[in-house]
Amino acid sequence: MKDKFFKYIHQLQNTITSKLEEVDGKAKFQEDNWDRPEGGGGRTRVIENGAVFEKGGVNISGVHGKLPDSMQKYFGVEDADFFACGLSLVLHPTNPMVPTVHANWRYFEMYDKEGNIVDQWFGGGQDLTPYYLFEDDAKHFHQTCKTTCDKHNPEFYPKYKSRCDEYFYNTHRNEGRGIGGLFFDYCKATDEMSMQNWYDFVTEVGDSFIEAYVPIVEKRKPLDYTKAQRDWQEIRRGRYVEFNLVHDKGTLFGLKTNGRIESILMSLPPHVQWVYDHQPEAGSEEEKLIKVLQNPVDWV
């Protein structure tokens, strides 16, 4: 399973980066292959200063070895070895009318002293963070997620949509990071779902990413914007940074397992503002966004 999924994320990285270069039309991804001293490594691809994408990364990694003490306590195990692989991407467009997007699809195995698999699971999802709310975009993104989920189980979309709203939530701000999508974790074999079934589901979600995001980019990238709208985007990016550094489990896992810092922090946008006690104007498009972030919407 780990070899099959590792091969899949290599192919998916190629598919996604090729399509994004085509959409951008100017910048190309810079590739960086790296090794982890304790075992494994990865392939980081970053795009910067493009016609559409100010900064973005589409990274894959496969790491293995002894599970660090901090993570052994987290999982409640002793002397465990692990293997983890996944693809993680974040894209920050220049135009504030184009939303930021994040996606991640991952697989994890844990082993006993004899090297037997004692636990294994899939996780992942994809979520959208707009700066200006276009309801058509929100509906398109969520409908794509739902259509993909419904092929496998009609309960998946409402369950994983709800988990996404709960997970990508800045509790210290009482607002969502964005308008959500899907979030699933600890997807393990059961009587209803084998690991092959989970593989089929997770890879179908991965394959749906381009369909979910690219039409939104194509529709919004030609729109004009003002300096004030760009300032608002940078203030909202600050909330994005806050979530990733305070709450995100993937960031914390990478830091605690001696992950590659450049790859972990590639999710951070290049230009951000923190304005003291900033409040959007009553009745404005900015306030409209905040109200939706404080009360998740059922888009489909």
Rounded to whole angstroms, the Cα distance separating 141 from 209 reads: 9
Max Cα distance, the chain (Å): 63
Two tokens at 280?
Answer: 């959007």
DSSP label of 284: S
Question: CB 75: neighbour CB atoms within 10 A?
Answer: 13
Q: Work out the angle at residue 175's Cα, subtended by the Cα atoms of residues 241 and 257, and round it to the nearest 5 degrees.
A: 40
Q: Is 10 a catalytic residue?
A: no
Given the residues 92, 102, 140, 142, the one annotated as active site: 102
Contact 82, 118 (CB under 8 A): no
Q: What is the DSSP string of 38-84?
A: TSEEEEEEEEES-SSEEEEEEEEEEEEEEPPHHHHHHHT-SS-EEEE
Please, what is the angle between helix 135-150 and helix 156-167, to 10°?
A: 130
Rounded to whole angstroms, the Cα distance separating 248 from 99 reads: 19
Rounded to whole angstroms, the Cα distance separating 144 from 150 reads: 10
Active site residues: 102
